[in-house]
Amino acid sequence: MSTSTTADLLAVCAGVFGLALFAGLILIPALGSYSRLWERLAASILSLYVLAALVGTGVLGALAAVYFWG
């Protein structure tokens, strides 16, 4: 297995694992907390903001690591 293939596999596994954690720890409890449809829609939209913040933090951390490493 080449280095590129290993990196691609690692990236895909991290993405799938991270998305599963987001769904299990943030999205499902947020949706289960409300009974009305509009409240559930609002909770899911706000959960997407949380997901965007988590992804943004990860991207900024990776860029900082690349910048300071090389």
25-70 residue pLDDT tens? 999 999 999 999 999 999 999 999 999 998 999 999 999 999 999 7
The answer to whether 44 and 27 are in contact (CB under 8 A) is: yes
Query: Domain count of the chain?
Result: 1
- Secondary structure of 43-62 as H, E, C letters: HHHHHHHHHHHHHHHHHHHH
Roughly what angle, to the nearest 10 degrees, separates helices 3-22 and 37-69? 150
pTM over 0.85: no
Domain carrying residue 21: 3-69
Reading the block at residue 57, the tokens are 């933090």
Task: Tell me the two tokens of residue 15.
Answer: 């993405």
